[in-house]
Structure 1
Amino acid sequence: MLFSLLAPLLTEVGAPLLKNLITKHLGGAAGDVGGAVVDAIADKVGVEANPQAISDAYQADPAGVGEAIRQVEIERREDWAAMLAEVNQTMRAEQKAKDKLTRIWRPLFGIEFGLVYSALGAAFVYAIAAAESPINAVGQIGGYLSTYLGFGASVLGVYVWQRSQEKRNGKA
């Protein structure tokens, strides 16, 4: 399914819960819920149950489709709760894991993020304040920040992807 077609549409009509539900269609409850959201919106709008048909209907009648989407968001709050329950189950399983790193990676990552980004912010302010040309300093620092943030996000992304694979294979 082309869920990416619906994400901007859902944001535009003010349905953030539905946007989160369909953009996290990685399997398990989230995948089932993402499909159910598309089905419910299509049913309300009266089109085929696929993101392209919903997007086309929205282009033809933004107000009508927007209202249908907002109604589905209100009706689908229990699905949001189901997805959160699955996430919470994963976190509880991590807390009970035998491996110490599996138990403490979230708090450690949070502490590291806070410390590193505070230091980066302070360095950024200092570099701008101490530079002869603050605009040039922003340009130079921007490249370094992008690289650093890209590496950090990549490491986290690989971990999350790998962990998802482990859960799908039953190695929770």
Structure 2
Amino acid sequence: MMWDTVSKIIGGAAPVLGGLLGGPVGARIGGMVASAIGSENTPEAIEQKLADNPELLAKLKALEIEKASELQSLTLNVEMQRAAQETARISEVNQTMRAELVSKDKFNSRWRAFMGYGVSIETMALVLGLIWMMIKDPASIANLGAVMQHVAWIISVQLAVVGVAVKKRSDDKALAAGAQKPGFLSGALRRFAPQGAN
């Protein structure tokens, strides 16, 4: 058993302890909890002790208040680690995208455009297929809703990917041409400014 189950049990009474227990410092917090309630430092032992003595949850709430500054510091460290991991992930994605843009392999650098053409052809083929189905077998129109239900989500995901790719590619071209990328605030002000205002 992992600390997640115990985290949920403790989280109702002591949410900070419970939250940290289910995270990367779970074993350390588990030791603190085990010491406070007098059990072994294992998820199973702590869960059993709390099941047998639910009043110990009040003791854990008191522990949370007593150790507030230490828990706050741990929470901050955990969040900083998560932020660093997310930053590294985004950086890796950006490096991949930049590598695609400068790639000598034409297909690799143009996969977004290829996907756009593919989705366009796929959508036209679908529409023509549905028209053919209605001409060939008019009774099949009754099944049209079920067919579209199964197909629509696939196309909507593809169209979303193409939409993001087109938008980002347009932004990249504008920046390459010397356009200034507006900051968040100036972009919002431009978007909501009255027509004709600069």
With normalisation by structure 1, the TM-score equals 0.46
Higher-Rg structure is 2
